[in-house]
Amino acid sequence: MQLRYNYRVYPTPSQQASLARAFGCARVVFNDGLRARQEAREQGLPYLSDAELSKRVTAAKGTPERAWLGEVSSVVLQQALADLNVAYRNFFASITGKRKGRKVAPPRFRSRKDNRQAIRFTANARFKVLDNGRLRLPKIGDVEVRWSRGLPSEPSSVTVIRDAAGRYFASFVVQTADEPLSPVESEVGIDLGLTHFAVLSDGTKVAAPKFLRRAARKLKRLQQDLSRKTKGSNNRKKAVVKVARAHAQVADTRRDWQHKLSTAIIRDNQAVYVEDLCVVGLGRTRLAKSVHDAGWASFTGMLEYKAARYGRTFARVDRFYPSTRMCSDCGRINDKMALDVRAWDCPCGSTHDRDVNAAMNVLAAGRAESLNACGAQVRPASVPAPREEAGIRPDAACATRSVEGISVL
Residues with a catalytic annotation lie at 191, 275, 355
Is residue 192 within 8 Å of 303, Cβ to Cβ?
no
Report the side by side order of strands in the sheet with 313-317.
205-207, 196-200, 187-192, 271-275, 313-317
CA distance linking residue 399 with residue 218, whole number of Å: 60
Q: What is the DSSP string of 46-113?
A: PPPPHHHHHHHHHHHTTSSTTGGGGGS-HHHHHHHHHHHHHHHHHHHHHHTT-S-SSPPPPP-PPPTT
SS (H, E, C) 268-316: HCCEEEEECCCHHHHCCCCCHHHHHHHCHHHHHHHHHHHHHHCCCEEEE
228 three-class SS: coil
Which residues neighbour 34 within 8 Å (Cβ) at sequence distance 6 or greater?
A: 84, 107, 108, 109
Is residue 273 within 8 Å of 367, Cβ to Cβ?
yes
Looking at residue 68, what DSSP letter applies?
A: G
CA distance linking residue 83 with residue 34, whole number of Å: 11
Centre a 10 Å sphere on the Cβ of residue 277 and count the other Cβ atoms it contains.
19
First to last CA, the chain: 39
Is residue 11 within 8 Å of 144, Cβ to Cβ?
yes
β-pairing, 2-10 vs 168-175, is: antiparallel
Is residue 135 within 8 Å of 8, Cβ to Cβ?
no
β-pairing, 313-317 vs 271-275, is: parallel
